[in-house]
């Protein structure tokens, strides 16, 4: 099938490359010429495991091409995916200007009947607006079917999620369009559910909001565990064994970040507010998450007193491992708070430094070497559970730091392992370890 994907961001590019890999003929369009040139040369503008090899392969096979030319992209496509950005506005609502701009362009450019399928996360009712635009602007003799097909691609495992997803959701109001969408996804052999358009739009928000709720819930239980001397790891495991609860998204920590959960939870509250439905549960989820972001700086101050002039090693800038994305990363809140307290910050991250530097500039130092970050530090804060941090030999902390005080926001280490070393270790929902034994031989 001839597919066009509008937008070469995290969702659009993964969608384009993976549909090409699944055997479709794919054109990906973006307005940023630099990005398109990079992609034409086989380079992804962001890090996503497994994406670049598939990009190169499908470019060289001729299954995939990139363009900034609207005519080339839209005039003969059978299915067009809208995967442009839907950023957050100041009031928490969604900025749909890119969606509508792409819709107008498509309406004026198409030369065939086409299905326009929204992948970007858009508030319930947006696809009705898209339909209206087509009704008003498309050539009369052409037929445009609008479909909602939300994505469930986690950054860092998006390629795997594309091919091994749990379900494909197709929101559609026309059986012919539904059958074309089924054919499109057939090679993936993933269960496909068909709903009305508004329900598909809601499934996406409800899914992200529910996962965010699970995280804030387990974080509140973790905070309680600290007060009643229980251990969140054991509690989460014991809860997750119940199939009705499940183990995933029960990893306690300093809260969720990224470009999806923070934005989508706020957008769902806005959406509910628009129909005079106060979504109090979700408001609490967001509040708990924000409090969680500030936990470790508070705990550092409890341990060390005022942080003015103290050297902090911040381990991990990306909002989660296996990505260079720092959008709404918890590390950014921690950096802001540390700087406000007068701390001197050196941040380690294996791949997210350029993005962080572009956003926060030279207010902190950056390194891709963990030891460099720890050298002479008064305390360390772990914000991202990178493998490089999880597999760091624990003697590195007492060896390199001025004071081996580690505040771990992602529970990277087992308490038993930590107990072997002279480290003061604060984690989330687990007992604090204050080990002042002299350094072990190693
Ligand atoms: C999320 C959803 O998981 C995807 O299904 C969805 O398609 C995507 O948003 C989107 O809307 O585009 P993503 O934000 O990329 O994906 O990453 P997640 O792996 O879900 O993690 C989100 C945040 O939750 C991260 O900051 C992570 O550290 C945190 N998290 C996750 C926890 O704190 N605890 C957990 O147990 C799991």
Residues 4-22: tens digit of each pLDDT: 999 999 999 999 999 999 9
Residues 171-230: tens digit of each pLDDT: 999 999 999 999 999 999 999 999 999 999 999 999 999 999 999 999 999 999 999 999
Domains of the chain: 2-195 (3.40.50.720), 204-291 (1.10.1040.10), 294-434 (3.40.50.720)
The percent of residues above 70 in pLDDT, for the chain, comes to: 98
Pocket test for ligand 1, best of 208, 222, 246, 325 (most atoms within 8 A of CB): 208
Q: How far is the CA of 424 from the centre of ligand 1 (A)?
A: 30
Q: How far is the CA of 121 from the centre of ligand 1 (A)?
A: 14
Average pLDDT of the residues in 231-260: 97
Is the predicted pLDDT of residue 409 greater than 80, yes or no?
yes
Who contacts 378 (Cβ-Cβ below 8 Å, separation ≥6)?
Answer: 304, 310, 311, 312, 401, 402, 403, 405
Specify the pLDDT at position 80.
98
Pocket of ligand 1 (CB under 6 A): 121, 151-155, 208, 211, 215, 249-251, 253, 256-258, 260-261, 319-320
Who contacts 117 (Cβ-Cβ below 8 Å, separation ≥6)?
Answer: 79, 80, 81, 82, 146, 147, 148, 149, 181
Pairing of strands 405-408, 424-426: parallel
Residues 132-155: tens digit of each pLDDT: 999 999 999 999 999 999 999 999
CB contact at 8 A, 162 and 11: no
Q: How far is CA 149 from CA 82, 89, 183, 197, in A?
A: 10, 23, 14, 9
Specify the pLDDT at position 435.
81
Give the nearest ligand 1 atom to 264 CA: 11
Q: How far apart, in whole angstroms, are the C-alpha atoms of residue 170 and residue 177?
A: 10
Pocket test for ligand 1, best of 150, 155, 254 (most atoms within 8 A of CB): 155
Q: How far is the CA of 323 from the centre of ligand 1 (A)?
A: 12
- The yes-or-no answer on residue 260 being catalytic is yes
Strand 2-6's sheet: what is its strand order? 64-67, 25-29, 2-6, 79-82, 114-118, 144-148, 168-171, 192-195
Average pLDDT of the residues in 394-416: 97
Average pLDDT of the residues in 295-320: 98
Average pLDDT of the residues in 421-434: 97
Averaged confidence pLDDT in the chain? 96
What percent of the chain is helix, strand and coil (3-state, nearest 5)?
45, 15, 40
Residues 247-303: tens digit of each pLDDT: 999 999 999 999 999 999 999 999 999 999 999 999 999 999 999 999 999 999 999
The percent of residues above 90 in pLDDT, for the chain, comes to: 97
Q: How far apart, in whole angstroms, are the C-alpha atoms of residue 186 and residue 193?
A: 13
């Amino acid at each position: 099938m001839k597919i066009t994907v509008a937008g070469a961001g995290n969702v659009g590019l993964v969608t384009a490359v993976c549909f090409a890999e699944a055997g479709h003929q794919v054109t990906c369009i973006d307005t940023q010429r630099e990005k398109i040139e990079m992609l034409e040369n086989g380079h992804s503008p962001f890090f996503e495991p497994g994406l670049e090899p598939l990009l190169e392969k499908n470019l060289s096979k001729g299954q995939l091409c990139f363009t900034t030319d609207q005519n080339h992209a839209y005039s003969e496509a059978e299915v067009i995916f809208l995967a442009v950005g839907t950023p957050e506005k100041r009031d928490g609502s969604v900025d749909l200007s890119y969606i509508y701009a792409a819709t107008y362009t498509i309406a004026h450019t198409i030369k065939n009947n086409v299905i326009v399928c929204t992948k970007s996360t858009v508030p319930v009712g947006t696809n009705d607006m898209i339909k209206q635009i087509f009704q008003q602007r498309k050539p009369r003799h052409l037929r445009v079917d609008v479909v909602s097909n939300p994505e469930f691609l986690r950054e860092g495992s998006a390629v795997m999620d594309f091919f091994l997803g749990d379900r494909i959701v197709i929101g559609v109001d026309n059986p012919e369009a539904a059958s074309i969408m089924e054919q499109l996804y057939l090679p993936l052999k993933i269960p496909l559910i068909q709903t009305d358009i508004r329900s598909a739009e809601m499934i996406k928000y409800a899914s992200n909001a529910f996962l965010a709720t699970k995280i804030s819930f387990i974080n509140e239980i973790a905070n309680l565990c600290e007060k009643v001397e229980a251990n969140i790891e054991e509690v989460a495991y014991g809860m997750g064994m119940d199939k009705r609860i499940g183990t995933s998204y029960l990893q306690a920590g300093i809260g969720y970040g990224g470009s999806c959960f923070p934005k989508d939870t706020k957008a769902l509250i806005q959406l509910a507010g628009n129909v005079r439905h106060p979504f109090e549960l979700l408001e609490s989820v967001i509040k708990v998450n924000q409090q969680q972001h500030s936990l470790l700086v508070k705990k550092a101050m409890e341990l060390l007193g005022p942080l003015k002039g103290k050297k902090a090693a911040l381990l991990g800038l990306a909002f989660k491992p296996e990505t260079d994305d720092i959008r709404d990363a918890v590390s950014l809140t921690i950096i802001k708070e540390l700087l406000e307290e007068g701390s001197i910050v050196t941040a380690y991250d294996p791949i997210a430094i350029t993005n962080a530097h572009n956003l926060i500039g030279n207010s902190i130092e950056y390194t891709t070497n963990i030891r460099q970050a720890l050298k002479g530090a008064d305390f360390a804060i772990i914000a991202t559970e990178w493998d490089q941090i999880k597999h760091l030999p624990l003697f590195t902390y007492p060896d390199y730091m001025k004071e081996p005080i580690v505040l771990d926001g992602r529970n990277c280490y087992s308490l038993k392992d930590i107990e072997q070393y002279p480290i003061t270790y604060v984690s989330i929902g687990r007992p604090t370890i204050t080990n002042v034994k002299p350094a072990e031989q190693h």
